[in-house]
A and B are shown apart, each in its own frame.
Chain A
Amino acid sequence: DARVTQTPRHKVTEMGQEVTMRCQPILGHNTVFWYRQTMMQGLELLAYFRNRAPLDDSGMPKDRFSAEMPDATLATLKIQPSEPRDSAVYFCASGLVTGGQTEAFFGQGTRLTVV
């Protein structure tokens, strides 16, 4: 049963600490998305990659957020330093772009609390 796997599922950290979230996309998918979900804003796109190359990271605060894909089986989202306003659920999704169509499949998310 192919699925997107995210770790950790929950993270509580103190303000100023570094946080790294990891995502294993579905094998064979060539597009990876990072979304953030809050009650106020809903799902917001932070960044996405195609064939491991970043295509758009305009949704990320550049001074503290960074996203990478070291290889095809791993995507990371890092926050340094973390702030209380970063508290949210972070979702990774992957998809296969074929003929211009992309259906994204989501992981279970990482619930981040910054105190």
Chain B
Amino acid sequence: EDQVTQSPEALRLQEGESSSLNCSYTVSGLRGLFWYRQDPGKGPEFLFTLYSAGEEKEKERLKATLTKKESFLHITAPKPEDSATYLCAVRSTGFQKLVFGTGTRLLVSP
């Protein structure tokens, strides 16, 4: 059964203090690892898809990386508006569904 574990559960940073969020996964065959951002009261917003180990993608202050067992979401010089819950999900071979982790709640203080 596909599993996704995210850590830490919560992270508090000062504005400008860079850090990384972790997503560990086990799947029968990875067909994609997805990162989403979710603000309170809203639906998850798509950020990135990674398909193979060694792949990296960037968007503004965020960079996602992928290995065979985990993915990292690096946040460089975060701002208060980066505060949100970041969700990781995987899709495995033969399935269209995404299996989600429970997320990391990020709070960036000014």
Contact = CB atoms under 8 A, between A and B. Distances in A.
Interface of A: 4, 31, 33, 35, 42-43, 45, 48, 50, 55-56, 91, 93, 95, 97, 100-109
B96 A55 contact: yes
A102 B91 contact: yes
Given A42-B103, A43-B87, A100-B31, A106 B44 contact: yes
B100 A91 contact: no
Interface string B83-110: 0000101010001111111110000000
15 contacts: A33-B97, A42-B101, A43-B44, A43-B89, A48-B96, A48-B97, A93-B44, A97-B96, A100-B31, A102-B96, A103-B49, A104-B98, A106-B43, A106-B44, A108-B42
A4 B43 CA distance: 10
Contact of B49 (A31, A42, A93, A101): A101
A101 B97 contact: no
Contacts of B97: 33, 45, 48, 56
**Chain B, interface residues (CB within 8 Å), range:** 20 to 34
Given A42-B103, A100-B31, A33 B46 contact: no
Interface of B: 31-32, 34, 36, 42-46, 49, 51, 87, 89, 91, 95-103
Nearest to A91: B43
Contacts of A107: 43
Given A35-B100, A42-B102, A100-B31, 7 more contacts: A43-B87, A48-B97, A55-B96, A91-B43, A106-B36, A106-B43, A109-B42
Given A42-B101, A42-B102, A102-B32, A91 B44 contact: yes
B41 to A, nearest CB: 8
A34 B36 CA distance: 16
Contacts of A91: 43-44
A113 to B, nearest CB: 14
Contacts of A55: 96
